[in-house]
Amino acid sequence: MNRAVGIFAHPDDEAIIIGGTLIQLAEMGWETHLICATKGEASTAYDREYVKKEDLGPVREQELLKAAEILGVKEVQFLDYLDATLVNQDEAEAVAKLSERLNALQPELIYTFEVNGISHHPDHKTIHQWVMKLLKEGRLNYEPQAVYLATVDNRAGRLKNGKLMGSPIEEITTIIEIERVAAQKAKAILAHRTQLNMLVNNGLIVDGALQRNHRHEYFIKLDGKGQAVQLAEKETQLPEVHKP
Ligand SMILES: [Zn+2]
């Protein structure tokens, strides 16, 4: 089965980080899926005039389902952890739960966060660790074709805390141009209505469109066992589906 899965922490990670890739994979015939660890109920960036704090979880769950539809994603699963608690979860239990979901789906392509979670968010870093642990421990009952760690080019700027966001360009193996689907990606990002103020304030969305210098998505490619791969030059194409 030509399946690809994105494993992330919060509703909006998928659209912001790999939205353009998900759209194009679906167009190419990949059956795309998302596994989201939480419902984003601990967001501090939400629009207070639009939603009450206590409604954030269910509202953001619906926002993710709407974004997924725009991205052409077939199915969204939640791990039902509480937002901002991943680092405190029992790791063995979480790895077992995630392995079970992956073994049922058997996706050939796995997309998740790079080691610093792009933004250094503890939930993002924990998801990366869970995925790497299940690969290294051989918890999958099949071997994926590739694992892609989503990142950004760290020359793009620093976070408020002074840390660099993303990865050095030398470590990035794969750069996917998303210009053609930028409007569709913006629509999926905007489906996360509760987060709109943050998305506009941080400059990702300008006048309803994706900011001009956000027209590429960046990855570090690993093999199906989670080992680094050496590519002669940077990859710029998405993997083809297997012809049956
Ligand atoms: Zn997140």
Give residue 87's pLDDT.
Answer: 98
Q: With 0-12 CB in 10 A as exposed, 13-18 as middle and 19+ as buried, what is 65? A: middle
Centre of ligand 1 to C-alpha 111, Å, is: 14
Cα dihedral 116, 34, 43, 117, rounded to 10, equals 0
Centre of ligand 1 to C-alpha 238, Å, is: 24
Centre of ligand 1 to C-alpha 13, Å, is: 5
Centre of ligand 1 to C-alpha 153, Å, is: 18
Centre of ligand 1 to C-alpha 123, Å, is: 7
pLDDT in tens, the chain (244 residues): 799 999 999 999 999 999 999 999 999 999 999 999 999 999 988 888 899 999 999 999 999 999 999 999 999 999 999 999 999 999 999 999 999 999 999 999 999 999 999 999 999 999 999 999 999 999 999 999 999 999 999 987 666 666 778 999 999 999 999 999 999 999 999 999 999 988 888 888 999 999 888 899 999 999 999 999 999 999 999 999 986 6
Of 96, 83, 105, 107, nearest in space to 2 by CA = 107
Centre of ligand 1 to C-alpha 187, Å, is: 18
Enter the DSSP assignment of 150. Answer: E
Centre of ligand 1 to C-alpha 243, Å, is: 35
Centre of ligand 1 to C-alpha 12, Å, is: 7
Task: Tell me the two tokens of residue 207.
Answer: 């006048």
Give residue 212's pLDDT.
Answer: 86
Centre of ligand 1 to C-alpha 233, Å, is: 30
- d(CA 17, CA 28) in angstroms, rounded, equals 19
Give residue 155's pLDDT.
Answer: 86
Centre of ligand 1 to C-alpha 244, Å, is: 36
Identify the three-state secondary structure at position 4.
strand
In order of start, what are the domains of the chain with their CATH numbers?
A: 3-222 (3.40.50.10320)
Pairing state of beta strands 174-177 and 75-81?
Answer: unpaired
What's the pTM? Answer: 0.96
Give residue 60's pLDDT.
Answer: 98
Any idea how long the chain is? 244
Centre of ligand 1 to C-alpha 232, Å, is: 32
Give residue 244's pLDDT.
Answer: 63
118: left (phi over 0), alpha (psi -120 to 50) or beta: left
Centre of ligand 1 to C-alpha 40, Å, is: 8
In sequence order, which residues have a C-beta less than 8 Å from that of residue 96 and are 6 or more positions away?
139
| 2 close to 29: Cβ distance less than 8 angstroms | yes
